[in-house]
Amino acid sequence: MTTAPMRKDAARNWQRIAEVGRRLVDEGSPLHLNEVARLASVGVATVYRHFPTPEALMEAVATPGLEALVTRAEQALAEDDVWRALTGFLHSTMDAQLTDPSITAVRSAPRNVLPHTTELTTTLDTLAAHLLTRAHTAGIVREEITWEDLRPLMCGIAYAANIHTEDQQERLESGRRYLAVTIRGMRP
């Protein structure tokens, strides 16, 4: 079943709400939907109609970043150098988590609320697991390491890098350094 396209005014409201959500997430502010409505200059009911929960808004904000990570994983699977493909993907994932706080929030959440987010995260996890399986087959990653191990470690690294500094560049440097330690530990 397909859904009807949004009316132009509804689409504009959705866009304004999503832009306010993006700004609040980037500032590290909580997504209180009443406040989002005020900042977007729309009615509270309009916000709740588009995003019934703060989690739904967070997932909408994270969608472009998650889509980019899926694309990056697909590109990595097409690379011939298995180690470079895996580590390049992990570095891209870490950079995304450290520059877009919505990605870590969505990836560390116990469940998704939007079907599209579930689809994206499932696809991302499947592709990442394939990258890891290729590395296992090539004998360049310890067999006992699974994507179920690495996914929470990636969120943990992002968390650790984020709590030590407000400076974006310092966070990236710390996260990359912590990831390098993790990557070294993956070798047989």
Q: What pLDDT tens digit does each residue of the chain (188 aa) get? A: 446 566 888 889 999 999 999 999 999 999 999 999 999 999 999 999 999 999 999 999 999 999 999 999 999 999 999 999 999 999 999 999 999 999 999 998 999 999 999 999 999 999 999 999 999 999 999 999 999 999 999 989 999 998 877 888 999 999 999 999 999 999 99
Q: Is 47 exposed, middle or buried (0-12, 13-18, 19+ CB in 10 A)?
A: buried
CATH class of the domain at 59-186: mainly alpha
- Answering whether pTM is above 0.95, one says no
**Inter-residue contact 50 to 13 (CB < 8 Å):** yes
Alpha carbon distance 154, 90 (integer Å): 8
Structure tokens at 108: 């560390």
Helical packing angle, 115-137 and 147-163, nearest 10°: 110
Domain boundaries, the chain: 7-52, 59-186
Amino acid at 174: S
- Indicate if 59-186 has the same CATH topology as 7-52: no
CATH topology of domain 7-52: Arc Repressor Mutant, subunit A (1.10.10)
Alpha carbon distance 146, 150 (integer Å): 6
